[in-house]
Structure 1
Amino acid sequence: MFRALILSGLLALPTTAMAQDLSPDEVKKLALEAILENPEIVMQAVEILRTRDAQAAEAAAQETLSQGRAALERDPNAPVLGNPDGDVTVVEFFDYNCPYCQRAGEQVNEALGLDDGIRVVMREWPILGEGSVWAARAALASRAQGMYPEFHQALMNARARLGETTVLKIAADVGLDVEQLRTDMDAPEVTSHIETSMQLAQQLGFSGTPSFVVGETLAPGLITSAQLLEMVDELRAAQ
């Protein structure tokens, strides 16, 4: 930011001054004088930086969508809900302690009930504290016992702040072997899934949960079943 402001200030200086061999301190002084005389330079510089950041983020997202499609949609280390052989894939980034994710989960379930051609790739993205990490690790570990869908839904339905105690109680309630679950939570594939989610979310420019990817469409935030089905229909028509 400071470097950009200095550059903006220098651009406002006379050409003769620009041509001089200035010391760093002289450059800073002249830039400050230019900014004081033309305070709108600051806002212009901020807007330029925002535009550049937005363009860079969009380029990174498009590269991930074009080059990282397999990692998004066909990662064998990511749970899949809905129809595993569906013709349209929806990728959902979520956190069990996110109330909007809980509401979004209801909308996704509704959409799955209305369209049996959707497969949903679940990207566990625990960003709301240690309790979220615990829930995500436990959910991913439940795959070893073949109970991810049931456990995932039970965690989503909890409507409580999840942490070690609540997660293990829910695990026991759904019939999981809790001691085995504890062991499996430290499996390399569990850590790998979460790390991949973090990386993909960053590359796509997501800043919170829930966030969805449907084809080339990025949909951060809560969406309704109708909105999801509309995106699915548009992607299906374009295939």
Structure 2
Amino acid sequence: MTRASIRSLALIAALAGATAATAEEIDFGNMTPDQEIAFGIKVREYLLQNPQVIMEAVSVLEQREADQMAAADEQLVSDNMDALVNDGFSWVGGNPDGDITIVEFSDYRCGYCRKAHPEVQELIESDGNIRFILKEFPILGEASLTSSKFAIATKIVAGDDAYKQVHDALITLGGAPEEPTLKRIADSLGLDADAIMAEMESDEVTSRIAATHDLAAKMQINGTPSFLMAGEMVRGYVPLAAMRDIVGKARAAN
């Protein structure tokens, strides 16, 4: 929140306290310069005597903004639910018939995506009743795009299991995803490296990435990781305990 916003809130809060004391003396719609000065002095006095009012007003405003954002996100989810959970090409793991669905928009070069990776895995494996959908959302430059192309091409050429293995290798890759490195990953997993490399520049790979970028724009997602957790938009990294809390609350609500 900006300092200007806080100052505005302070004035509004002060008005509430000062108005009762001055309403009979001042016509607020037609104050003279002297009345404005007097009123300003009363505002200052009120704030100095009741500084907690500023934080109370800030808290109310922040909660109102959070409620508005949650309502907007809820509408975005409703409008784009089919594309989020049923695009026909994103990898689906965990329990495909789970009672909770988690969708992650991820970038292989994103530090917080890498941090979230083992925690998301732990959540899915320990829960056993979560459907997990992974969306390739490269936004951090050419290395991100190359990694996603390689992963998607692997899925097309070799299937879901191979994709998951490649995904896990790329999300923990220390160096750049250069061609020799990608071929080495494919070879180590017993995959056809040449076929995968040839598929990377296909129209199908390009269209899948474009579709995910289009969906992210509609969802107003501009960072990674971003999640849809049990119908709730969660923008940014979430620790394991918080993810479990979201899942638990969603189940309790149902």
Paired amino acid for 2:163 = Y
Alignment pair present for 1:145 and 2:158: yes
Q: Which residue of 2 aligns with 1:108?
A: 120
Matched, 1:230 2:242: no
Unaligned runs of 5+ in 1: 1-53
- Indicate the residue corresponding to 2:92 in structure 1: 80
- Residue 193 of structure 1 aligns to a residue whose secondary structure is helix
Deviations 1:19-73 (A, max 9, x none): xxxxxxxxxxxxxxxxxxxxxxxxxxxxxxxxxxx99987764443112111101
Superimposed CA distance per residue, residues 177-217 of structure 1 (whole angstroms, 9 cap, x where no aligned partner): 11110222233332222112212222222221111111332
Identical amino acids, percent of aligned pairs: 37
Q: Is the 8 A contact 1:111 1:226 kept in 2?
A: no
How do residues 1-12 of structure 1 correspond to structure 2 at under 5 angstroms? none
SS of 1:236's partner is: helix
Q: 1:162 to 1:183 in 2, by over 3 A?
A: closer
State whether structure 2 residue 236 is matched by structure 1 residue 218.
Answer: no
How far is the alpha carbon of 1:140 from its aligned partner?
0.8
What letter is aligned with 2:145? V
> Equivalents in 2 of 1:163, 1:117: separation in Å?
37
TM-score normalised per structure 2 = 0.67
Q: Which residue of 2 aligns with 1:161?
A: 176
Question: What CA RMSD, in Å, does the superposition of the two structures yield over aligned residues?
Answer: 2.3
CA displacement 1:203-238 (0-9 Å, x = unmatched): 222221111111332112111122112212222233
8 Å Cα contact 2:108/2:171 also seen in 1: yes
SS of 1:235's partner is helix
Q: Is 1:96 matched with 2:95? A: no
Contact 2:74 2:232 in 1 (8 A): no
Deviations 1:93-152 (A, max 9, x none): 111111211111111011112101111111100011111111101101111212111111
Contact kept in structure 1, 2:101 and 2:132, CA below 8 Å: yes
| 2:252 maps to 1:198 | no
CA contact (8 A) 1:60 1:203 kept: no
Q: 1:163 to 1:211 in 2, by over 3 A?
A: farther
Amino acid at match of 1:152: H
Pick from 47, 72, 80 the counterpart of residue 68 of structure 1: 80
Residues in 2 aligned to 1:78 and 1:177: alpha-carbon distance in whole angstroms: 21
Instruction: Give the whole-Å Cα distance in 2 for the aligned partners of 1:97 and 1:193.
Output: 19
Question: Which residue of the partner structure matches residue 184 of structure 1?
Answer: 199
Gaps spanning 5+ residues in structure 2: where?
1-65
Alignment pair present for 1:122 and 2:137 = no
Q: State the structure with more CA Rg.
A: 2
Q: Match of 1:105, as an amino acid?
A: H
Q: Is contact 1:134–1:167 with CA below 8 Å preserved after alignment?
A: no
SS of 1:212's equivalent in the other structure is: strand
How many residues are aligned here? 186
